[in-house]
Structure 1
């Protein structure tokens, strides 16, 4: 039985589409846990700092048990710093302002552009060739995402065009991070080691920026809801990070970039199961587009 389970696990970790589904589920789970933690009293930057550090610390003993090490050459340290800034610190900071001035709906929607931008960037620099089947798949995923969040689209406040434009930097950063991870993946480094180093650096970058937006001395940890929220989110984030990096390692940046689509899909399903939200015909159509688009985008050109 153990060998069968191990075999099935290996197959899942080697299948981009199965791994994409797992990463999407973990993405949705992290979002729900983050909302719960914020409701319990955590501040946004506090959550960003300790969820990332917690994930990295959870991965360290696993890394030690497998006799692996985080690459620490100067070029790797620069890579971690760049990824921490581009993939986490800048989007987190911009989201803070855009949510306040334009609303959370727009912030969610701009992330829809990340797969389209990732595909474009990868094609422009010659990392991955753009072909019709993949383009159709990414487009289907985009339409599916729009179908799922069509209510939020109606709530967008576009009275502040400057901040609407600033919000577009968020998906550009996300797409750039996707490209950077693939282009400069440390040679011979596992997804476990790379994700551990990136988690710790992301926490550090956000910690450096946190005093500008929050007062760290006001951060609370003693309340049971806050401490337990950080611990649980750290564990889930650790697993999510390893799976995310494994997906990018085997499938490339374009397939990886669809995690947000799948995460939104799983979020809608989980909300229906856990909180009784109603799934409409449009919801099912959106989910079908996301799944179908993911399968099309994952298929190799023949």
Structure 2
């Protein structure tokens, strides 16, 4: 699926408002999700159990949506490859790392790290020659990574810093970036977003269940209270909306708008962690967040200029 195809879909439907709404809503859900994961730990839910049951619930919700719309997930060797690899890097692996790190480094720090995958995606696209070098976008990547470095240095230098969990938290965005590139390169032909999203989540749930059987980590949940079940139900709805909007944004808005999803998530997630969950603001928050914001803006601006040039050439 090429960028001209995505741009043509957007022009034909005159849907600039749809991808913009997907961006704002999907980003907000991403920021909320990190804070729900922190609260889950506070009420006794392990990261694996919370993630498994939430993804299972989201897969059920999106499967119903797909059936109602008569858009069942495609079943072929190519689509099964897509489901399981995308599930591993975009859902199961990345979210398990991030959710596991939250109790140790805070939801605010994790929310800031989710603004990095689009920038790492650009580096990967350059390495694979999916995209040509652009000075503006490269400057944006360098600036944003400098901002992430500022946050990481402050986090590492904290008296109670856990280097292991900080590194785990920083590995999550790397997997998400790999997922962004993979989904773009291997999108099954003629498949709709609402058909692919449930297939990916079902595969993610199966991978997490397999992980639980091969390790000492359990997917059991406390049964003496209804609160854990209620929180899982809420996170299932959040995941369902988040991943459906992710696919819709990738389909209708293209990589430029998709690159802002993590930034919107950080804008929502960090204040929620500070003001509603009582976390201390991450050290170096102002400088680090400012550099990341400038970097994302430069990457986006460079992408808009590239799109304009391509449109003029056509």
Task: Give unmatched runs, 5+ long, in structure 2.
Answer: 1-13, 310-314
**TM-score of the superposed pair, with normalisation by structure 2:** 0.74
Task: Give unmatched runs, 5+ long, in structure 1.
Answer: 1-8
**Alpha-carbon distance change, 21 to 83 in structure 1, aligned in 2, over 3 angstroms:** same
Q: Report the counterpart of residue 6 of structure 2 in structure 1.
A: none
Q: Report the counterpart of residue 64 of structure 1 in structure 2.
A: 67
Q: Report the counterpart of residue 38 of structure 1 in structure 2.
A: 41
Q: How does 1:70-219 map to 2 (within 5 A)?
A: 70-91=73-94, 104=105, 108=110, 114-145=117-148, 151-155=154-158, 156-158=161-163, 170-211=172-213, 212-216=215-219, 218-219=220-221
Q: How does 1:257-268 map to 2 (within 5 A)?
A: 259-268=261-270
Q: Report the counterpart of residue 299 of structure 2 in structure 1.
A: 297
Q: How does 1:239-258 map to 2 (within 5 A)?
A: 239-252=241-254, 256=258
Q: Report the counterpart of residue 19 of structure 2 in structure 1.
A: 14
Worse-matched range after superposition: 114-123 or 223-232: 114-123
**TM-score of the superposed pair, with normalisation by structure 1:** 0.77
CA contact 1:255–1:294 (8 Å) conserved in 2: no
**Alpha-carbon distance change, 279 to 48 in structure 1, aligned in 2, over 3 angstroms:** closer
Separation (CA, whole Å) in 2 of partners of 1:280 and 1:205: 33
**Alpha-carbon distance change, 53 to 122 in structure 1, aligned in 2, over 3 angstroms:** same
CA contact 1:89–1:205 (8 Å) conserved in 2: yes
Post-superposition Cα deviations, 1:41-85, rounded to whole Å, max 9, x if no partner, equal 211111111111111111122222222111111210121111222
Deviation at 1:231, TM superposition (A): 0.5
**Alpha-carbon distance change, 60 to 239 in structure 1, aligned in 2, over 3 angstroms:** same
Separation (CA, whole Å) in 2 of partners of 1:210 and 1:27: 25
Separation (CA, whole Å) in 2 of partners of 1:94 and 1:26: 18
Q: Does 1:48 align with 2:51?
A: yes
CA contact 1:265–1:290 (8 Å) conserved in 2: no
Separation (CA, whole Å) in 2 of partners of 1:56 and 1:22: 19
**Alpha-carbon distance change, 236 to 88 in structure 1, aligned in 2, over 3 angstroms:** closer
Deviation at 1:247, TM superposition (A): 2.3
Separation (CA, whole Å) in 1 of partners of 2:223 and 2:265: 29
Deviation at 1:181, TM superposition (A): 0.5
CA contact 1:112–1:145 (8 Å) conserved in 2: no
Q: Partner of 2:74: helix, strand, or coil?
A: coil
Deviation at 1:234, TM superposition (A): 0.3
CA contact 1:37–1:225 (8 Å) conserved in 2: no
Q: Report the counterpart of residue 7 of structure 2 in structure 1.
A: none
**Alpha-carbon distance change, 84 to 233 in structure 1, aligned in 2, over 3 angstroms:** same
Question: Aligned pairs, how many?
Answer: 285
2:227 to 225, 228, 232: 225
Q: Partner of 2:36: helix, strand, or coil?
A: helix
